[in-house]
Homo-oligomer: A and B are copies of this chain.
């Protein structure tokens, strides 16, 4: 039985999340029962939704239980199996949590999925060819419903969702504009991710200023917006939306830690006849096969080359996660566990 490092949530944040909300625990993996497999995790995914789960509030995800392993997506390798469908050496993706190993009842539908790493790196199944990629796909394809020639905007442009959004939007013939923090990210968005323009929100101190920059970048206005951050950025984009624009609300990371951030001009929803719709990708499992097929092809053919920020070792996960909430990551935030 290998030793298993785990990170537990031991307290809930009041305001900003802190490293002290987490605790590293060392345990042993239990012996397998029939139908179970033991997975050694290669990568853990860190995602903004985890911040919501740290609170004890009603939200779209159940709160993370205290003094248990933090939940999270993982990719890894089967190292022991008592399930005929999985063999030692199989590469798998699942929800193993913030730990080095997980014991999975592999007969449970959707608990563990074998993946092919011939053309797609294992870690991509946590990003572009995983939940973040499908998130971008659902918001763009099912809520925004873009038409060729329209203008699409996404915030957190160089993140896992934003970079997939760019590839999917460009593939549909749309002008694609990103919003990101800092010149390095903005350069990368244009040079490597295929954005037509990327705006550095850190150069702007209010929504009016950011909105002016957006208007310059979007001479025909904005038809579709994929929202990851909220706050000033949402205010700025709202001012640029065309009539009949669509906004897919996927995240509002700017308000996760503190006081709720208001929306300054909700009347624009009326005057521009906008559709503003929130969604959670895990509630739309029916689209995953179609979305993963397109995303897998984009990655395998080099049209989507998402960047990764990789923290080393489980003990680095809390700081990497807190950095993600502040936009310190650059691309998909992972933790390398093996």
Interface, chain A (partner B; CB < 8 A):
52, 58-60, 230, 234, 243, 249-252, 255, 260-267, 269-280, 283
Residues from chain B with a CB closer than 8 A to the CB of A260 are 264-267
From B262, B269, B274, B278, A271 is in contact (CB under 8 Å) with B278
With both beta carbons as reference points, the residue of chain B lying nearest to A58 in the complex is identified as B271
B273 touches A276 (CB 8 A): no
A270 touches B266 (CB 8 A): no
* Interface SS majority for chain A: loop
How far is A283 from B249 in the complex, measured between Cα atoms in Å? 25
B266 touches A252 (CB 8 A): yes
Residues from chain B with a CB closer than 8 A to the CB of A266 are 230, 234, 249, 252, 260-263, 266
Additional A-B contacts beyond A260-B267, A277-B277 (15; CB < 8 A) = A58-B271, A60-B270, A60-B271, A60-B273, A249-B266, A251-B270, A252-B266, A260-B266, A262-B262, A262-B263, A262-B266, A266-B266, A272-B278, A274-B277, A275-B276
What's the minimum C-beta distance from A170 to chain B, rounded to whole angstroms?
26
A-B contact pairs, 29 of them (CB 8 A): A52-B271, A58-B271, A59-B271, A60-B243, A60-B270, A60-B271, A60-B272, A60-B273, A234-B266, A251-B270, A252-B266, A260-B265, A260-B266, A261-B267, A262-B262, A262-B264, A262-B265, A262-B266, A266-B266, A269-B276, A270-B278, A271-B278, A273-B278, A273-B280, A273-B283, A274-B277, A275-B276, A275-B277, A276-B277
Residues from chain B with a CB closer than 8 A to the CB of A264 are 260, 262
With both beta carbons as reference points, the residue of chain B lying nearest to A59 in the complex is identified as B271
Query: Given the interface contacts A60-B243, A243-B60, does A273 sit within 8 Å of B263 by beta carbon?
Result: no
B271 touches A279 (CB 8 A): no
B252 touches A270 (CB 8 A): yes
Across the A-B interface, the 8 shortest Cβ-Cβ residue pairs: A270-B278, A263-B266, A262-B262, A263-B263, A276-B276, A269-B278, A275-B277, A252-B267
Residues from chain B with a CB closer than 8 A to the CB of A262 are 262-266
How far is A275 from B278 in the complex, measured between Cα atoms in Å? 7
Query: Given the interface contacts A60-B243, A275-B275, does A255 sit within 8 Å of B267 by beta carbon?
Result: yes
How far is A264 from B263 in the complex, measured between Cα atoms in Å? 6
Interface centre among A52, A230, A252, A276 (most CB of B within 10 A): A276
Residues from chain B with a CB closer than 8 A to the CB of A243 are 60
Residues from chain B with a CB closer than 8 A to the CB of A265 are 260, 262
What's the minimum C-beta distance from A212 to chain B, rounded to whole angstroms?
16
How far is A264 from B260 in the complex, measured between Cα atoms in Å? 7
Residues from chain B with a CB closer than 8 A to the CB of A274 are 277-278
What's the minimum C-beta distance from A69 to chain B, rounded to whole angstroms?
24
From B58, B250, B272, A270 is in contact (CB under 8 Å) with B250
How far is A251 from B283 in the complex, measured between Cα atoms in Å? 31
Residues from chain B with a CB closer than 8 A to the CB of A276 are 269, 275-277
A230 touches B267 (CB 8 A): yes
Query: Given the interface contacts A60-B243, A274-B278, does A249 sit within 8 Å of B269 by beta carbon?
Result: yes
